[in-house]
Amino acid sequence: MKTLIVGLGNPILGDDGVGWKVAEEVRRQLPAEAPVDVTCLSLGGLGLMEHLIGYQRVILVDSFVMGANDELGSILILKLSELPNYSAFHTTSSHDTSLQNAIELGRAMGAQLPDEVEVVGIATERIHEFSDTLSSPVADAVPFAARIVLDLLAQVPKHKKEYQMQE
Amino acid sequence: MTQRISIDPITRLEGHGKIEIFLDEQGNVANSYFQIPELRGFERFVVGRPIEEMPLITNRICGVCPEAHHMAASKAADMAYQVDPPRTAKLLRELLYMAFYCTDHTTHFYALGGPDFVMGPDAPVAERNILGVIHKVGLEIGSKVIQMRKYGHATVEIIGGRKVHPCASIPGGMTKGITEEQRTEIEAMGRWAIEFAQFSLKLFNDIVLGNKAYVDLILGDVYTHRTYSMGLVDANNKTNFYDGQVRVVDPNGKEFIKYAPKDYAEHIAEHVEPWTYLKFPYLKKVGWKGFTDGEDSGVYTATPLSRLNSSDGMATLLAQEQYERFYATLGGKPIHQRLATHWARLIELLYAAERWVELVTDPEITSPDVHAKSTHIPTEGVGIVEAPRGTLTHHYWTDERGLVTKANLIVGTTNNYAPIQMSTNKAARSLIKGGVVNEGLLNMVEMAFRAYDPCFGCATHSLPGQMPLEVTIWAADGNPLEVLKRP
């Protein structure tokens, strides 16, 4: 199975860069012969979809802004289909469509795209200030998130589950 | 579980656009405010870093138009190092930039602007997107859009060294040239882009201009504002995206000023409002007179429409024909009906595609002479390009080691913040009456700002992309009457 790991985010926007750090850590730990590609992107919607073409399995690693009950650096594992599809309600973006719509579009055009996209999210807070370093709890989550991605790779994709980082 | 994700980075939600609409006692609009969040610290982030890194760092500001930042920063660094890149380097930069323009304008028209016209402003929200367009007009449209984007990305990658976030443009030129084999490949893609642009204009002609209701909508007063128009022009006053002088025409179409990039601060100032973080640029010599139209107001626009208004034409044959048809159809120059921006964008798409082929067939395009070394100590530099959504200015100051001591950026959308505020306000006032608000009306209000192709992610120095919207309508008694969320 051709698999792609995508670290998403902006590497110079504080904690938003955590996806890149996790992907880089995964790349370091992956055995050289593993049939897995690892990439880092600052894209969404159509641009992101175009990078997923040709893969049977995709795991996205990205930051998410935590809710009131989340802890900074906590890790969430879910499927793209479980995330709200914003563009289903409206063309919320001025330049793009949602990743879900982009994938549907790609499929309609005959592109080979994964049936499901897995998502590993890391709870972040400081994503509104330019910086190339992560907050301490978010940086601490990087090896855990990388471990989760490597564990997911070792499994057949399963339905949603949630992992809360142990203190 | 998913409800707790208030901002979802997978869909690149970097902040919430917010419109606050205040109603009076009769339920009519008293005022409205288009607010956006701020991202902080970009100027601080770049201080102390070498100016030659700016083309790489600034293209990370934004995932929507990194190529524009790459070019503006490179040009600013050229000036700071007092180096004039070889002709081939300039050709390559502009060629890369045309491929990017074709990708960007295509995406905006088919994913955002197009749905309102192809599906209709009152179509159900779930259909008013690119998927709806494809279902209505046919699958081949989607294939062409994807193909155009693919060719755009491929050309950017060949010349720029990387897809989306190119890295080949440096102070003094380019790090590498292209081979004859690559040139041939890029030319074939450019020729396809011309056909695609013509196809898009025909689609616009058939679906929009062929429909009287849409033409009336475009020409209606709701979406009209008489402001100054800004755009970069070449030595013949023809529209140019990569280089030239900034020309501003007044609301009657008469040249008001034309300035070299380095002089921008003499002509542009920024107004601050207490209700938003983003500043409102205006023409210094006219002055800030509030959110108002006319010759006495320093408000200007920097959009595809304003670029056409501020130039004497397009420098390529087919685009020039379309330019003439545009003004003949809409009743003379300049045009102030904001929805015409969608048409202007397609004319620019055609120009970019034609220019793409012009550049790639230049006899010097494969020359290996792509870089000029500088022996000067950098001091200060300004670089201006036309980003798809407006004039983009980068300004850096350095110390004697070439480390940035200060930076100032005026990004595309920022130029248009005042007009966008005016347009949404006017649309809200015109459409919301007696407290009646429905989905169709709301979309008509949103169409007012969508024409500008706003990118507030970039405008706030943030990542780009999805711009979720929250509209709060306040009754005269100070209580929220209705909150409509676009999560």
Out of A89, A94, A127, the one facing B112 most closely (by C-beta) is A94
CB contact under 8 A, B150 and A50: yes
* % pLDDT > 70, chain B: 88
Band (pLDDT 50/70/90 cuts) for residue B108 is confident
CB contact under 8 A, B8 and A111: no
Q: Look at residue B311 and tell me whether its pLDDT is greater than 80.
A: yes
Answer for the pair B165, B59: CB distance below 8 angstroms, yes or no. Answer: yes
Burial pattern B111-125, b for ≥16 Cβ within 10 A else e, equals bbbbbbbbbbbebeb
Answer for the pair B83, B374: CB distance below 8 angstroms, yes or no. Answer: yes
As a whole number of angstroms, the distance between CA B382 and CA B75 comes to: 7
Give, in degrees to the nearest 5, the angle at Cα A160 between A27 and A69: 90
> CA of A94, closest CA in chain B: separation in Å?
6
CB contact under 8 A, A84 and B2: yes
CB contact under 8 A, B12 and A66: no
> Which of A20, A22, A90, A162 to mutate against chain B (most B CBs within 10 Å)?
A90
CB contact under 8 A, B111 and A44: no
Contacts of residue B243, Cβ cutoff 8 Å, sequence gap at least 6:
B75, B90, B94, B232, B234, B385
CA-to-CA separations, B300 to B154, B283, B313, B416, in angstroms, rounded: 35, 7, 19, 7
Domain A3-154: CATH class, spelled out: alpha beta
Contacts of A39 in chain B (CB under 8 A): none
> Which of A60, A92, A95, A118 to mutate against chain B (most B CBs within 10 Å)?
A95
CA atoms within 13 A on the CB side of A15: 24
Beta bridge partners of B407: B396
As a whole number of angstroms, the distance between CA B433 and CA B452 comes to: 25
Q: Look at residue B42 and tell me whether its pLDDT is greater than 70.
A: yes
CATH fold, domain B2-217+360-486, is Cytochrome-c3 Hydrogenase; chain B (1.10.645)
> CA of B11, closest CA in chain A: separation in Å?
6
CB contact under 8 A, A109 and B467: no
pLDDT of residue B246: 98
Q: Look at residue A89 and tell me whether its pLDDT is greater than 90.
A: no
Q: Look at residue B338 and tell me whether its pLDDT is greater than 90.
A: yes
Interface confidence: ipTM more than 0.85: no
Q: Strand pairing of B255-259 and B280-283?
A: unpaired
Question: What's this model's pTM, rounded to 2 decimal places?
Answer: 0.88
What tokens were used for B305? Answer: 């429409």
CA-to-CA separations, A54 to A1, B221, B223, B273, B485, in angstroms, rounded: 10, 49, 44, 49, 36
Which of A39, A36, A47 shows the shortest CA–CA distance to A20? A39
Question: Tell me: the pLDDT tens digits for B84-99?
Answer: 999 999 999 999 999 9
Question: Tell me: the pLDDT tens digits for B231-249?
Answer: 999 999 999 999 999 999 9
CB contact under 8 A, B57 and A12: yes
Per-domain residue ranges of chain B: 2-217+360-486
> CA of B53, closest CA in chain A: separation in Å?
13
Contacts of residue B478, Cβ cutoff 8 Å, sequence gap at least 6:
none
Residue with the bigger pLDDT between A1 and B318: it is: B318
What tokens were used for A102? Answer: 């982009």
Residues 79-118 of A with CB under 8 A from B: 80, 82-84, 86-99, 101, 104-106, 108-111
Does any CB of chain B come closer than 8 Å to the CB of residue A70?
yes
Out of A46, A92, A121, the one facing B467 most closely (by C-beta) is A92
> Which of B6, B7, B8 to mutate against chain A (most A CBs within 10 Å)?
B8
* % pLDDT > 90, chain B: 59
Q: Look at residue B399 and tell me whether its pLDDT is greater than 90.
A: yes
Q: Is B244 left (phi over 0), alpha (psi -120 to 50) or beta?
A: left
Per-domain residue ranges of chain A: 3-154
Does any CB of chain B come closer than 8 Å to the CB of residue A33?
no
Question: Tell me: the pLDDT tens digits for B296-307?
Answer: 999 999 999 999
Contacts of A72 in chain B (CB under 8 A): none
CB contacts < 8 A (A, B): 204
> Which of B1, B2, B5 to mutate against chain A (most A CBs within 10 Å)?
B5
